[in-house]
Amino acid sequence: LAMSHVPNVEVIDLDSIDVTNLNRQFLFRQKDVGQSKARVAARFINERCPWMNVIPHHGKIQDKDSSFYGSFQCIISGLDNIEARRWLNATVCSLVELDEDGDPDPSTIIPIVDGGTEGFSGQARVILPRITSCFECSLDIFPPQKTFPLCTVAETPRIPEHCIAYAFTLQWPREFPDRKLDTDSPDDMQWVYQKALARSKEYNIPGVTYMLTMGVVKNIIPAVASTNAIVSATCVNEAMKLLTFCSQTLNTYMMYMGSTSIHSYTYVYEKKEDCPVCSSTIRKMTISPNMTLNQLLQELREGDLRLKAPSVTAAGSGTTLYMQKPPVLEKITRPNLDKRMQALIDDGEELTVTDPMFPGTSVGLSIYFEN
């Protein structure tokens, strides 16, 4: 972006620099270990490229409100987890205003260029909120994060990952009950690594390394510098097209595969008709009349919506069936959790579902009971 003379850039990142970050980029040095990635990167670019005005923000993307994201012409997303990418996608999509005919107002559309890498593979895509498919439309291609059964981790570890999971999920809370594990702290991660290594020796399980410990705790996929360079260049190229209208943008998805050769292809990722973020479709759901509200909420968390902490209101009557926050309202609506849905709503009634995963928007759900 700097060499393309895009002068005003803001970067937000929660991470601090770890020694393992030094081998695949040119922004950080040994003396920067432990410091904010965003601040160090901004300082480096501003000093090297005096025409640039890079403003750093050290923190979560969720710490900024919608007005912050609404102030940009284009957003490049290089986030390393699905939850954050879903949140950003929903936030930017919620900024789009619709006219009387339900068509999006072009002046309120803020393009997202999303990129990611995994080893020798990578992808980049252009999202025009409410026009092209959004990130939520393609959620099915991202499997839920892998977890390990607690009983296996505690009693019968078989692989290095079990030893690491034991160290940070069971041993850390036992040793430091009043302090949360800081995954960006080299000291904390070294402690987890040593404990995991000791447990692996106890059970004769080879393969526990510091890099693997980092990968399991932070759900990190090992990065390859060449893949990162190709995907980041693609993202910048698409951002330049969007900012200058110099050429047709990517339509809409590019896959790069570098494990066997240098190969890439593009294709159009179609919009999902009932996408909870970029469509206004009321989703239909058929359930047993004996299903409780608690079971419905569990289905919303584990089903294709993959919600985090859903709250539900009956759209017709405006009755709040269950609300996660504030605590007072949660306590008042908690008795509804054990009630059957048939006692709470009528057949075909529409529910309004809100969730932290979808800021600024809600999901419409029509509930039908099985005969």
How far is it, in rounded angstroms, from Cα 55 to Cα 151?
46
Which helix (H) or strand (E) segment holds residue 55: the answer is strand 53-58
**DSSP character for 86?**
H
Burial class (CB within 10 angstroms; exposed 0-12, middle 13-18, buried 19+) of 362: middle
CA 147 to chain centre: 17
Beta strand 283-287 pairing with 253-257: unpaired
- The alpha carbon of 154 is separated from its chain's Cα centroid by a whole number of angstroms, namely 29
Structure tokens at 253: 């998805």
d(CA 214, CA 193): 8
Q: Which one is catalytic: 151, 235, 275, 278?
A: 151
Token pair belonging to 244: 């200058």
DSSP 274-286: T-TTT--PPEEEE
Examine the residue annotation and report whether 151 is marked as an active-site residue of this protein. Answer: yes
Helix (H, G, I), strand (E, B) or coil at 124: strand
List Cβ neighbours of 366 (8 Å cut-off, separation of 6 or more). 282, 283, 284, 285, 348, 349, 350, 351
What amino acid positions are annotated as catalytic residues? Answer: 151
